[in-house]
Amino acid sequence: MESKTTAHRDGNEWVLNGSKMWTTNAGVAGVIVVLARTDPRGGSHSLSEFIVPKDTPGLHVDPPEKKMGLHGCWSHAVSLEDVRVPLDNLLGEEGRGIHQALHVLDGGRIGIGALSVGLAQGAYEAALSYARERMTFGKKLIEHQAIQFKLADMATKIHLARLGVLHAAWLKEQGRPYTKEAGMAKLFATEMAEWVAYQAIQIHGGYGYSREYPVERIYRDARLMTIGEGTSEIQRLVIARQIARE
C-alpha cells in the first residue's frame, strides 16, 4: 500500500493522495500517521511519515471492517484525496519513514507478545476453573490424566512465553539491540496463545464453542496475533536474518 500513497510538496504544504487498509481505531483517533512515498524513484529512502488530523479536508475514513475477532479494536480503510497538511507535519526525517516504521514494529512486537500472553492466561484460567467444576464419568475433569497433561502443557508454554516477552522488553528498556528477541517473543507467544485457546475450547467440550463461555472469544481474538505486526512467517525471516548477521 505504501507505494500507492504519495506525498509531494506544494508551497508550504504537503499534498497526500492514496489509501490505506487496517488503520487501527481511525474512527475515534484525533490524528492518523500516514506512510507515503515522497520520492517517486523508489528505494529504501523514498518513504516518509506524516501527521494528518482526522478533520483534514479530503481524508475519508470508511466504516469498521467486519472482523473475526478483536471487536473492541476497530480497523478502517482510509482514503486521502488531495489532503493538505503543513510542512511541519512531516514526522521525523524525510526519506526515513520505512526505518521509523520498522523501529516501531520492533517495539510493537513486544506489545503483541504481551497481549498474547494475557489472552493465553485468560483461556488457561477459564479452562482450569471449568475442569475443577465439570463432572464426567464420576470424576471432575481435572482428575483425568488427559486433561491434566493439557493443563500442564498450557501452563508451561505460558510461563516460557512470558519470560521471552519480559526479556525482549528488558533489552529495549536497557537501550540494547532487541530486534531478534522481539521477533522470537512475538513468534512464540502468539503461536502459543492460539494453541492454548484451542486447548481451552477442547477442555470445555461443546460449551467451548458457545458464547456463554469466554474461550470462544479468546480463540477468535488470539487468531489475529500471529498476523498483526508481522506474520509468523515474517518473524521467522527477521530472526533468521539477525542470526546470519551475528
Active site residues: 229
Q: Please, what sign has the CA dihedral across residues 162, 165, 167, 170? A: negative
Nearest one of 162, 150, 47 to 95, comparing CA atoms: 47
Give the residues across from 140 on adjacent strands.
135
What DSSP designation does 142 have?
A: G
What's the burial of 80, exposed, middle or buried (CB within 10 Å: 0-12/13-18/19+)?
Answer: buried
**Residue carrying the nine cell digits 481505531:** 25
Q: Which helix (H) or strand (E) holds 31?
A: strand 31-37
- Other Cβ atoms within 10 Å of 101 Cβ, number: 16
Provide Rg for the chain, Cα atoms.
22
Pair 168, 185: CB distance under 8 Å? yes
